[in-house]
């Protein structure tokens, strides 16, 4: 299934090679109980403080709710135009809401927008009940999905982040979930909307505005999810992209809203100023090779990119070796034909499949005879 492939792409490096993460409290003046800054392409942690401490995260919980909704869309289990009838239970949710009407029919797209933009608890429960029959069943799926993602320090009891003594997460797990969410293009179509009207079935309008104020104050931020309760204080997971580098940042337990936003700004600026993302293997670059008994040359390319993150001006040297299988025609487009091995100092960092990008037919017997004589 696509969601399992997604994890492999997001967390493409399982062995981090190089520097240890910087402690968040060093020189940056960050606030909150826990922080983390992660490079999206490699999953490498650049900065952390108490990143695996169990903490309440309030509405940042909805990142996982959104992830399951986006994956359901990808898998064809729901569609954006599909209409969902809101239950009395969903309409009764307190806290952040868009004042959904019990028995009203709402498009999936509008519900997702309400969740991502306005952190709507009622819209979250409507989608949970749509996908799993009940919020309780949906929460069980949420927790199972976290296990699949390797999030070992999170347990949810609802899909909204409303206060619960048994619910907790950590900065590291929030970063991993957000890294999966941002692989969905639809998320960015929604996440950057600042303000819009949420239209109810009777044409009543609820105006919604984005809770992510970093969109206005930090030019490179293009997504994120806030959360705040008296227990969790002020929390946020956010993402920013500058040039070819995307960063994931999380702040949990800040004393006020300004503290979480300013801390994330400082983290992002420090990350972009201190590090660079470098592509070592490019899946868009192909080469041609001759294969035994082939009528034409075989074009090959790596199946995926391989990137590293480095301190600026560091320019580490990597060995990139293309190893071809023992091939004979015929070859079909998409066939595995070898592998790329990335290593440094005799330590293998990655093995990436080489695939054929064209068909190569086999020479006829007469053509083979002519070639060997």
The DSSP-derived string for 104-165 is -EEEHHHHHHHHHHH--HHHHHHHHHHHHSSHHHHHHHHHHHHHHHT--S-B-SSSS----T
Q: Give residue-wise pLDDT tens across range 177-218.
A: 999 999 999 999 999 999 999 999 999 999 999 999 999 999
Q: Catalytic annotation on 59?
A: yes
Give which of 319, 250, 306 is closest to 277, Cα–Cα. 306
Domain spanning 282-372, CATH class: mainly beta
The predicted model scores a pTM of 0.86
Q: Give residue-wise pLDDT tens across range 22-71.
A: 544 456 889 999 999 999 999 999 999 999 999 999 999 999 999 999 99
Q: Above 90 in pLDDT, residue 88? A: yes
Q: Over range 120-148, report the average pLDDT.
A: 98
Q: Catalytic annotation on 336?
A: no
For the chain, domain boundaries = 2-277, 282-372
Residue found under tokens 């799993």: 132
Marked catalytic residue, from 96, 119, 124, 263: 119
Q: Give residue-wise pLDDT tens across range 240-269.
A: 999 989 999 999 999 999 999 999 999 999
Number of helical (H) and strand (E) elements in the chain, helices listed first: 11, 17
Region class of 103: left (phi > 0), else alpha (psi between -120 and 50), else beta? left
| pLDDT of amino acid 10 | 34
Marked catalytic residue, from 59, 228, 262, 277: 59
Token output for 220:
């490179």
Q: Catalytic annotation on 274?
A: no
CATH match for 2-277 among 3.30.450.90, 3.30.1370.100, 3.40.710.10, 3.40.50.2000: 3.40.710.10
Marked catalytic residue, from 33, 52, 53, 62: 62
Starting at the edge strand found earlier in the chain, the sheet holding 45-49 runs 22-23, 45-49, 34-39, 245-254, 233-242, 221-229
Give which of 343, 363, 353 is closest to 15, Cα–Cα. 343
């Amino acid at each position: 299934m696509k969601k399992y492939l997604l994890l492999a792409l997001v967390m493409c490096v399982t062995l981090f090679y190089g520097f240890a993460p910087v402690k968040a409290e060093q020189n940056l003046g960050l606030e909150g109980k826990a922080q983390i800054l992660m490079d999206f392409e490699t999953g490498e942690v650049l900065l952390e403080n108490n990143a695996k401490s169990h903490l309440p995260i309030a509405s940042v919980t909805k990142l996982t709710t959104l992830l399951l909704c986006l994956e359901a869309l990808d898998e064809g289990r729901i569609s954006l135009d599909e209409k969902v009838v809101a239950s009395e239970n969903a309409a009764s949710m307190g806290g952040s809401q868009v004042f959904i009407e019990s028995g009203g029919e709402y498009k999936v797209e509008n519900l997702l927008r309400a969740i991502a933009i306005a952190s709507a608890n009622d819209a979250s429960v409507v989608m949970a009940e749509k996908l799993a029959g009940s919020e309780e069943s949906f929460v069980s799926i949420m927790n199972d999905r976290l296990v699949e993602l390797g999030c070992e320090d999170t347990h949810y009891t609802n899909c909204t982040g409303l206060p619960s003594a048994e619910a907790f997460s950590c900065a590291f797990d929030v970063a991993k979930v957000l890294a999966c969410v941002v692989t969905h293009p639809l998320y960015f179509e929604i996440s950057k909307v600042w303000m819009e009207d949420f239209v109810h079935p009777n044409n009543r309008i609820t105006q919604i505005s984005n809770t992510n104020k970093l969109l206005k104050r930090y030019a490179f931020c293009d997504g994120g999810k806030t959360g705040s309760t008296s227990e969790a204080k002020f929390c946020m997971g956010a993402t920013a992209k500058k040039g070819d580098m995307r960063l994931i940042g999380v702040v949990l337990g800040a004393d006020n809203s300004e503290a979480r936003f300013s801390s994330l700004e400082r983290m992002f600026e420090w990350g972009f100023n201190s590090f660079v993302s470098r592509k070592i293997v490019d899946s868009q670059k192909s080469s041609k090779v001759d294969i035994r008994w082939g009528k034409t040359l075989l074009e090959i390319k790596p199946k995926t990119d391989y990137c590293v993150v480095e301190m600026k001006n560091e320019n580490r040297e990597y060995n990139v070796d293309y190893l071809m299988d023992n091939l004979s025609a015929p070859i079909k487009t998409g066939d595995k034909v070898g592998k790329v091995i990335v290593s440094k100092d005799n330590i293998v960092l990655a093995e990436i499949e080489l695939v054929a990008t064209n068909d190569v037919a086999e020479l006829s017997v007469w053509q083979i005879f002519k070639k060997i004589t």
